[in-house]
């Protein structure tokens, strides 16, 4: 009888062992991007004040991209303005959820600030996961004509010209840097009036006569908001600062027309070449590769979405997108200069 019990126990143990071995031999199904995103909420955050161009673009994207992300999560757009979007970029790198649920858009200039040793920067652009950019915008400098104010950029270069006050935001912002270059590198008689929260506030300052100039007006903004001002002469374009020269708004000189030598041309190309990054969108470094790939694919798919295209048209968004991999390559290229060159760049936009 005891032998039968022992034999039964042995058989039972063997059966349990086989079952365990069989279970361990069956691999567990890995969680897919769709599994992760299903039922979740994603934050799409711009580093700018609400109702500005950056913020408006991100909100349009947020309304449509969720349909193209596996699992179709909910998307909640918001803003985290400050320091020309450096606050958002630092948050994205150091604080934000690194699981693929936090997506940020910041200024193109901010993307290269780490290479210029900006002490406020706490992120490495070479480690971020780039998702894409909606627009490689064409930008202009303009003046609101007034007595005693130079009527052209050519006049601003004269040593006896009265300084034209240009509205800018924080010293690390794209608006500030792209204006300071004209003063520091080309010698334009410009006085930088900083402290405005962003382009909407600067536009109001122009209307009130607090300042007489601004750099960074995009072609889309001019079409959407300023055609009456351009037609009436209340606003005059004096310079194109990036891209291929265009006559869309009449004959406007290009910044490269004023480069006096190859060294200046190279520096101007770096300053304004960063504008080719458009309005970069990124997620933190530690986001899993399959989720980065899913977000990049969703970004690309949204660009073909008819409902998105209709919404983009309503805000005069000039779609000239850059993919995540292209952004990655461009940032790497912009980092690949000797320190002596970066020292000149830093001196140019202080």
pLDDT digits (tens, 9 = 90+) for 110-147: 888 899 888 889 999 999 999 999 987 789 999 999 99
Integer CA distances (angstroms), 249 to 138, 172, 313, in order: 12, 29, 19
Instruction: Look at residue 80 in the predicted model and tell me its pLDDT.
Output: 96
pLDDT band for 310, please (50, 70, 90 cuts). very high
Q: Are 42 and 58 in contact (CB under 8 A)?
A: no
Instruction: Look at residue 220 in the predicted model and tell me its pLDDT.
Output: 82
- Cα–Cα distance measured from residue 140 to residue 16, given in angstroms and rounded to the nearest whole number: 76
CA 37 to chain centre: 24
Instruction: Tell me, yes or no, whether 132 and 143 share the same domain.
Output: no
The answer to whether residue 6 scores a pLDDT higher than 60 is no
- Cα–Cα distance measured from residue 18 to residue 15, given in angstroms and rounded to the nearest whole number: 5
Instruction: Tell me, yes or no, whether 214 and 251 share the same domain.
Output: yes
User: pTM for the complete prediction?
Assistant: 0.78
Instruction: Tell me, yes or no, whether 185 and 294 share the same domain.
Output: no
Instruction: Let me know if residue 1 belongs to a domain.
Output: no
Instruction: Let me know if residue 59 belongs to a domain.
Output: yes
* List of residues 6+ apart from 346 with CB closer than 8 A: 116, 117
Q: Which of 69, 264, 63 is nearest to 181 (CA)?
A: 264
Last residue of a domain, one of 274, 292, 324: 274
Domain tally, the chain: 2
Instruction: Tell me, yes or no, whether 147 and 263 share the same domain.
Output: yes
Instruction: Tell me, yes or no, whether 243 and 196 share the same domain.
Output: yes
Instruction: Tell me, yes or no, whether 146 and 118 share the same domain.
Output: no
Q: Are 99 and 291 in contact (CB under 8 A)?
A: yes
- pLDDT tens-digit map of 46-93: 998 887 888 999 999 999 999 999 999 999 999 999 888 999 999 999
The answer to whether residue 191 scores a pLDDT higher than 80 is yes
Instruction: Let me know if residue 221 belongs to a domain.
Output: yes
Owning domain of residue 264 = 139-274
Instruction: Tell me, yes or no, whether 104 and 155 share the same domain.
Output: no
What is the chain's mean pLDDT, rounded? 88
Instruction: Let me know if residue 151 belongs to a domain.
Output: yes
- Cα–Cα distance measured from residue 37 to residue 74, given in angstroms and rounded to the nearest whole number: 9
Q: DSSP strand E in 185-297: where?
A: 190-193, 213-218, 236-240, 280-283
pLDDT (average), residues 295-311: 97
pLDDT band for 2, please (50, 70, 90 cuts). very low
Instruction: Let me know if residue 24 belongs to a domain.
Output: no
The answer to whether residue 22 scores a pLDDT higher than 60 is no
Instruction: Tell me, yes or no, whether 178 and 223 share the same domain.
Output: yes
CB atoms within 10 A of CB 29: 7
Last residue of a domain, one of 232, 247, 274: 274
Last residue of a domain, one of 274, 291, 317: 274
Q: Can you give the CATH number for the domain in which 196 is found?
A: 3.40.190.10
Instruction: Tell me, yes or no, whether 196 and 233 share the same domain.
Output: yes
The larger pLDDT score, comparing residue 229 to residue 243, is at: 229
Q: Can you give the CATH number for the domain in which 286 is found?
A: 3.40.190.150
Instruction: Let me know if residue 8 belongs to a domain.
Output: no
């Amino acid at each position: 009888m005891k032998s039968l019990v022992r034999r039964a126990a042995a058989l039972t143990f063997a059966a349990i062992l086989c079952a365990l071995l069989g279970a361990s031999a069956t691999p567990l199904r890995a969680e897919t991007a769709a599994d992760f995103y299903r039922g979740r909420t994603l934050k799409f955050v711009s580093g700018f004040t609400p109702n500005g161009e950056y913020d408006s673009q991100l909100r349009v994207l947020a309304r449509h991209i969720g349909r193209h992300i596996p699992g179709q999560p909910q998307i909640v757009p918001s803003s985290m303005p400050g320091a020309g979007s450096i606050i958002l970029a630092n948050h994205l790198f150091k604080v934000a959820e690194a699981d693929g649920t936090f997506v940020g858009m910041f200024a193109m200039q901010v993307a290269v600030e780490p290479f210029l040793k900006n002490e406020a920067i706490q992120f490495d652009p070479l480690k971020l996961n780039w998702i894409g950019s909606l627009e490689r915008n064409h930008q202009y400098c303009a003046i609101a004509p007034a007595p005693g104010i130079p009527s052209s950029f050519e006049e601003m270069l004269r040593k006896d010209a009265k300084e034209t006050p240009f509205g800018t935001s924080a010293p690390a912002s794209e608006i500030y840097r792209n204006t300071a270059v004209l003063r520091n590198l080309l010698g334009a008689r410009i006085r930088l009036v900083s402290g405005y929260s962003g382009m909407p506030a600067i536009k109001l300052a122009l209307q009130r006569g607090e300042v007489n100039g601004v750099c960074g007006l995009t072609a889309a903004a001019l079409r959407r908001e300023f055609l009456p001002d351009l037609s009436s002469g209340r606003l005059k374009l004096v310079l194109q600062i990036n891209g291929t020269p265009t006559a869309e708004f009449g004959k406007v000189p290009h910044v490269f027309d004023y480069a006096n030598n190859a060294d200046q041309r190279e520096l101007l190309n770096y300053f304004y070449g960063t504008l080719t990054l458009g309005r970069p969108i990124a997620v933190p470094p530690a986001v899993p590769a399959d989720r980065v790939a899913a977000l990049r694919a969703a970004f690309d798919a949204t660009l073909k979405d008819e409902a998105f295209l209709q919404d983009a048209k309503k805000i005069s968004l000039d779609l000239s997108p850059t993919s995540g991999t292209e952004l990655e390559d461009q940032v790497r290229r912009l980092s690949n200069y000797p320190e002596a060159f970066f020292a000149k760049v830093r001196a140019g936009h202080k």
